[in-house]
C-alpha cells in the first residue's frame, strides 16, 4: 500500500470508528428506554444499554487511535449532546452526566497508558470508564445500585470481546506481514 492509500484507509477507519462510537449513544438510550433490563450472565441483569455502553468505551479508544485526540474529544461532546437530547426525559441527565464523566475518565486513563500498549490501555481505561459510568448512571437514573454487578459484568463482557477480536486481528496482520 502506498502512502496515499494508507492515508485514505486511516481517514476511512477513523470516520467509521467515530460514527460507530457516536451511534452507540442513542442506541444505548433507546435500549434502556424500550427494553428494560436484560440478563448479562451469572444470574445478573442490567439496563439493556449495558452492552452498547461497553462497546462505546472500546470504540472511543479505537476512534482515538484512528482519528486522533481532537476528533475523539469532539465526538465525546457530540455524544453528551446526543445522549441528553435523545434520551427519555427521565434518563436524559443521568445518561449525559454518566457518559461525560465516564468517557473523559476513560480518555484520561487511556492517554498515558497507550505508550505501554494498545490492549493494556483499552483494558485499563475501560475499567475506569466502566466504574464511572455504572456508578453515576445507576445513582442518577434509578437512585439505586441494584444493577451495579450486572452493569459492570455486561461492560466487562464487551471489553473482553473487543480485546479478543483486536488480539486476533493483530496476530493475523503479523502473520500476513
**pLDDT tens, position by position, 90-102:** 788 888 899 889 9
Average pLDDT of the chain is 88
More confident residue, 46 or 119: 46
- The whole-number pLDDT of residue 11 equals 67
Predicted local distance difference test score (pLDDT) of residue 101: 94
Confidence (pLDDT) at 103: 87
Specify the number of domains making up the chain.
Answer: 1
Instruction: Pick the more confident residue, 40 or 26.
Output: 40
Distance CA 94, CA 33 (A): 13
* Residue from 48, 8, 16, 52 nearest 31 by CA: 48
**Angle at CA 68, nearest 5°, toward 65 and 73?**
115
What CATH code is carried by the domain that includes residue 15? 1.10.1760
Element (H, E) at 41: strand 37-41
User: CA-CA distance, 122 to 84, in Å (whole number)?
Assistant: 26
Distance CA 25, CA 86 (A): 9
Section 82-93 average pLDDT: 81
Give the model confidence (pLDDT) of 133-174 as tens digits: 999 999 999 999 999 999 999 999 998 998 898 889 888 888
Chain center to CA of 143? 23
Predicted model pTM = 0.85
- Band of residue 7 on the pLDDT scale cut at 50, 70, 90: low
Whole domain around residue 172: which residue ranges? 3-176
Which CA distances in Å does 158 have to 60, 79, 91, 122, 155? 13, 19, 22, 11, 5
Collect contacts of 104-112 with beta carbons under 8 A, ≥24 apart. 104/76, 105/129, 105/132, 106/57, 106/60, 106/61, 106/132, 107/60, 107/64, 107/72, 107/73, 107/76, 110/61, 110/64, 111/69
Answer yes or no: is pLDDT of 6 > 70.
no
If 0-12 CB within 10 Å is exposed, 13-18 middle and 19+ buried, where does residue 10 land? middle
Of residues 10 and 125, more confidence is placed in 125
State residue 1's pLDDT score: 60
Amino acid at each position: 500500500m502506498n502512502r496515499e492509500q494508507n492515508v485514505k484507509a486511516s481517514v476511512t477507519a477513523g470516520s467509521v470508528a467515530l460514527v460507530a462510537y457516536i451511534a452507540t449513544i442513542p442506541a444505548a438510550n433507546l435500549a434502556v428506554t424500550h427494553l428494560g433490563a436484560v440478563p448479562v450472565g451469572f444470574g445478573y441483569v442490567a439496563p439493556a444499554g449495558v452492552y452498547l455502553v461497553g462497546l462505546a468505551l472500546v470504540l472511543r479508544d479505537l476512534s482515538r487511535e484512528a482519528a486522533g485526540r481532537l476528533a475523539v474529544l469532539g465526538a465525546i461532546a457530540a455524544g453528551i449532546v446526543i445522549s441528553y437530547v435523545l434520551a427519555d426525559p427521565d434518563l436524559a441527565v443521568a445518561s449525559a452526566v454518566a457518559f461525560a464523566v465516564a468517557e473523559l475518565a476513560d480518555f484520561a486513563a487511556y492517554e498515558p497508558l497507550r505508550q505501554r500498549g494498545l490492549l493494556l490501555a483499552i483494558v485499563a481505561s475501560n475499567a475506569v470508564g466502566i466504574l464511572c459510568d455504572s456508578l453515576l448512571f445507576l445513582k442518577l437514573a434509578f437512585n439505586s445500585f441494584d444493577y451495579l454487578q450486572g452493569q459492570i459484568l455486561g461492560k466487562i463482557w464487551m471489553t473482553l470481546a473487543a480485546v479478543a477480536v483486536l488480539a486476533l486481528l493483530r496476530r493475523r496482520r503479523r502473520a500476513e506481514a
